[in-house]
Amino acid sequence: MSPYRADAAFAGRTGPEVAVPGFAAYYACVTQMTAVDGALAVLRAMVAIADSTVERNTGQLTLTQFRTLRAVDGHTPVTMGRVADELALNPSTVTRACDRLAAMDLVQRAENPLNKRETLLAPTAKGRRLVNRVDEDRRRELATVLDRLDAETRATVITAFARFAAAASETTEEQLRTAKKSLSQADRK
């Protein structure tokens, strides 16, 4: 074996990744970066779809306002504090978004009968229709992109998306648990 082979991990391989001593670690890093760059490209495409569908269907809402409406629609009735936590936003940002949503008759507010300091939020029928319209538009956009792929690749991509969503959800839940634990420990001090 040539003295320029990187290590046993590349046994049987040829090419630049094995031609230079010490290149194996670099090659592994570049391979990881390529995977992350690929995921970043997918993220950019997804964000573009999200932005365009909100713009096309609402015309007047910011992405933050729409995300707020979606969170309210998904957890009715819900407090502003819970929406802020779910979206990782400052409560004042959620309050401003809800002011706008209420002015557009997309959400309604009510005092929480169990805690007078809290305001409960619920979507109006108009708000629910808007969320559904954006979701349908997103489904069409995603189906158009997926239809450009051959059947085998499409099946692989759909499986990868499902696994990625599950992994991201687990990470988010773990991050929330860690943050809440840190806050409660700080409160005890």
Predicted confidence (pLDDT) per residue in 153-174, tens digit:
989 988 888 888 888 887 666 6
Rounded alpha-carbon distances, angstroms, from residue 27 to 7, 14, 33, 36: 12, 13, 10, 14
Q: What is the pLDDT of residue 35?
A: 75
At 6-28, the pLDDT tens digits run 444 444 555 544 445 555 555 56
Q: What is the pLDDT of residue 4?
A: 37
Identify whether the C-beta of residue 65 lies closer than 8 Å to the C-beta of residue 101.
yes
Mean pLDDT of 129-151: 93
pTM exceeds 0.75, yes or no: no
- Which pLDDT does position 172 carry in this prediction? 61
33 pLDDT tier (thresholds 50, 70, 90):
low
